[in-house]
Chain A
Amino acid sequence: MSNTLLEIKNLKTSFRIGEEYYAAVDNVSLNVNKNEVLAIVGESGSGKSALAFSVMGLHNRAKIEGEIVFKGRNIANLPSKQMNKFRGNELAMIFQDPLTALNPLMEIGRQIDEALILHNKNMPKKKRKEYIIDLLEKVEIPRPKHVYNQFPHELSGGMRQRVIIAIAIANQPELLIADEPTTALDVTIQAQILDLMRELKDDLGSGVILITHDLGVVAEMADRVAVMYAGEIVEIADVETLFENPQHPYTRSLLSSIPLVDDAQDKLHVIHGIVPSLKNLPRQGCRFSARIPWIDESAHEENPELHEISPGHFVRCTCYKHFYFPEENKEEQNHDTAQS
C-alpha cells in the first residue's frame, strides 16, 4: 500500500544481560500510515521506548531481528553511516525530558542549525539562520531572534521542549517519533505542546508514533492505538474502539486504574502483581496470565497470537473472552499485590 510509511514486521530487540539475550521488544508487527498518529501505550518495562529506539537505530548494543521497512526500505540493522541519512531528516524524534535533551554548552540556534547542516549541505549560512528563526516562530517561541543566541538553561521546560520539536521538524520529517513528549511538563503546557504537535502534523502530513503511558494524551491525540505489555503488543485498534470497546484484560485493567476527572470512581482497580523485569519475562504462554490469576488457566492460549476480532481490531490470546474483574475479593487481592 502506498499510504504505508512504516511497516514493522516481527521485530525483536534483545539486550545482553550477562551471557544471555533478553527481548525487550518481542515479535512486534505494526504499520504507520501517512498523516496518522499511532500511539503506543504501556507502563515502564513494556518495551515501548525500546521499540522507538529500534526504529531510530539508536540502540547501542542491542540485537535487532525482523524488519523495519521505512518507505519500502528495510532500515533494521542499517550501518550508521546510511542510517544517518534518514535520522533527523525523514525520520525524527522528540524526547521526554526537555531539561536534559539539549546540549547545555551550545546556543539554541546552533543546535537547530546542526540538524540543517547535516542534511542540507548547500544551504548558505544566512538562509539557514532565517529558516531557523522562522522555525522558532512556528513552534511559537516568543522573540525568536533573541532565543537563537540563548543557551538552554535560560529557557523554561516548555520552551525547551519547543526547541526540541523545532530540531525534529527542521527537515520536515515524514515520520516523527515522540517519546513521552509531555510527561515532564505541566498540564497547561502539555495541552499547548500537544496542540502544536497536532498542527505540525497536519501541516507536514507526517506520520507520528506517540509513545506514552498517559491514556488521556492518547485519547486526545491518537488515530490508532497499540497497547504493549512485557514486550508484546496485546491489543491494537482505532482510538474510538479502544476506549469504547477494550478487549484485552490488560487494556481493560489499565483503563479502570486511572482516576478520571469526569466520573468519580469509589475505588481504583489495582492490577495484581508487578510488571515482570526483562529477565523474568514469561517465555511461554500468555504473559499477562500471572496478573489475572483468578481467570482459569484454560482460557489462555499456549502460544498466544493476535486475533483480528473486527476489522483493524487485534487482541492477543483468547483470555479476553473469559475475563472479568474480581470485585468481590478485592481486599485480599490488594494485600497480595504488595507482597510479591
Chain B
Amino acid sequence: MWKFIVRRLLITTPQIVLLSAIVFILAQLMPGDALTGLIDPTVKQERLEELRVQLGLDNPWYIQYRDWVAGIVQGDFGRSFIYKMDVTELIGQRIVNTIWLSVVSVFFIYAIGLPLGIISGRYNDRLIDQLITGYTYIGFATPIFIFGLIAVWIFGFVLGWFPTGGSVAPGLDPGTLEYYLSKIHHVLLPALSIALIGTVGTVQYLRSEIVDTKQRDFIITARAKGASESRVYNRHIFRNSILPIAAFFGYEIVNLINGTVLIEQIFSYPGMGNLFLESIVRRDTTVAITLVLISGIGAILGALLSDIILSMVDPRIRIK
C-alpha cells in the first residue's frame, strides 16, 4: 500500500507543475497585462514601458514564469488590482469561509445520500425506491443556481428563517457562542442547497452498487450460512457497496469547489467562489489566476485523496 501511495504522490508533483504552467500560459494569453488595469489611461506610453521593465514584464516568458512560481512558493501570489491588497491576504479570509461551507455541505451530502441510497437499493423497485429515484431525477434536472434562488427566496425572504447574505451576523465577537451559532445559521441554507442537489449522484451510485452487490454470489453464500437478512445487508452488502462511494469522496470535494461558485454568489456568501466571479467580471487577473490555480490543485489533491482512501479500504489494493 505504501508503495502505491508514494507512487501516487510522485505522479501528483508533475501534475501540479503542468497545471501551473497551463494557468500561467492562459494568463499570458489574456488581453492586456498587469498594468492595463492598474494604470490611469492618461499615462504616457514611455512611462508605461518604463514600468514594464521595472516590473519585469518585458522578460521572456520563462523568466516571468520562474519569478511567478518563485513568488508562489514564498506565498506571494501578487496583488489584487481592485482591492489594492495582497492576494494572499484577500483569499485568506475567503478560503476559511469556503472550506467551512464545503465541510458542512459534504456532511449533508452524506447525511442525506447514504440513508436514501441504502433504502433505495435495499427496497429496489418498491414504492419507496420509486419516490427516492424520482427525487434524484428532479435533482439531476434542476440547475443548482435555480434551486438556490428558490431556496433563498422562500426560506430567506418569504419565511425569514435564514439570513440571505454574509457568513456571520455583523457586530459579533469571534470566539463567543453567538458568533458560532450565527456562523452555523448563515451556512445552513447554502450548504443544504448544495447538498440536496449534490447528493443525488451519491444516492443513485449507492443504489446501483447495492442492487449490483445484492446479486453477487457471495451474498448467496452468506444466506446459505444462515445469516439473517439484516446481517446480510450490514456485513456484506453495505460494506461492499460503500467502498466505491468512499473512494469517490475526493472527487466529491472537487465537485463542491465548482458548486460553491454559484451558490456563494446567490447567497452573497463571502467565499472564494464569490470572489472568483467578481475577479473575472472586474478583470482582476491576479486574483482569478490564483483561484484557478488553487481549485486546480484542490482537484488534483481530491483525486489523490480518493486513490489513497481506496488503497486503504480495499484489501485487493492494500495487500500487494
A residues in contact (CB < 8 Å) with B = 56, 58, 80-81, 83-89, 92-93, 95, 97, 100-106, 111, 114-115, 118-119, 151, 153-154, 164, 167-168
Contact = CB atoms under 8 A, between A and B. Distances in A.
Nearest to B229: A80
28 contacts: A58-B223, A58-B224, A80-B228, A81-B228, A83-B226, A84-B226, A84-B228, A86-B226, A87-B224, A88-B224, A88-B225, A89-B226, A95-B217, A95-B220, A95-B221, A97-B217, A100-B218, A103-B221, A104-B315, A106-B236, A114-B225, A115-B225, A118-B226, A151-B316, A153-B315, A154-B319, A164-B221, A167-B225
B226 A119 contact: yes
A106 B313 CA distance: 11
B226 A101 contact: no
Given A58-B220, A85-B226, A88-B224, 4 more contacts: A58-B223, A88-B226, A101-B217, A102-B218
Contacts of A92: 224
Contacts of A97: 217
A85 B236 CA distance: 19
A82 to B, nearest CB: 11
A123 to B, nearest CB: 15
Contact of B239 (A80, A105, A111): A105
A84 B316 contact: no
Contact of B227 (A102, A105, A114, A151): A114
A298 to B, nearest CB: 45
Contacts, number: 76
Contacts of A115: 225-226
Interface string B97-110: 00000000000000
B218 A93 contact: no
A88 B220 CA distance: 11
B12 interface: no
Contacts of A151: 315-316, 319
A281 B316 CA distance: 44
Interface in B205-232: 216-218, 220-229, 231
B243 interface: yes
B240 interface: yes
A99 to B, nearest CB: 9
A325 B230 CA distance: 55
B interface, size bucket? 20 to 34
Contacts of A95: 217, 220-221, 224
Contacts of A114: 222, 225, 227, 235
Scoring A56, A81, A93, A101 by chain B CB atoms within 10 A of each residue's CB, the highest score goes to A101
Contacts of B218: 100-104
Nearest to B315: A151
A87 to B, nearest CB: 4
Task: Give the residue among B226, B235, B315 with the most A Cβ atoms within 10 A.
Answer: B226
Given A58-B220, A100-B216, A100-B217, A105 B225 contact: no
Contacts of B316: 104, 151, 153
Contacts of B314: 105
Contacts of B221: 95, 101-103, 111, 164, 167
Residue of B216, B224, B228, B231 most packed against chain A (CB within 10 A): B224
5 nearest A-B pairs in the assembled complex, by CB-CB distance: A88-B226, A88-B225, A87-B226, A100-B217, A84-B226
Nearest to A110: B235
A78 B316 CA distance: 38
Contact of A101 (B220, B243, B319): B220
Interface in B9-65: none
Nearest to A92: B224
B319 to A, nearest CB: 6
Contacts of B239: 105
A1 B179 CA distance: 81
B301 to A, nearest CB: 26
A153 B318 CA distance: 12
B201 to A, nearest CB: 23
Nearest to B213: A103
A87 B223 contact: yes
Contacts of A86: 226
B315 to A, nearest CB: 4
A58 B235 CA distance: 18
Contacts of A164: 221
Nearest to A104: B316
B138 to A, nearest CB: 30
A106 B235 CA distance: 9
A275 B234 CA distance: 40
Contacts of B240: 103-105
A103 B222 contact: yes
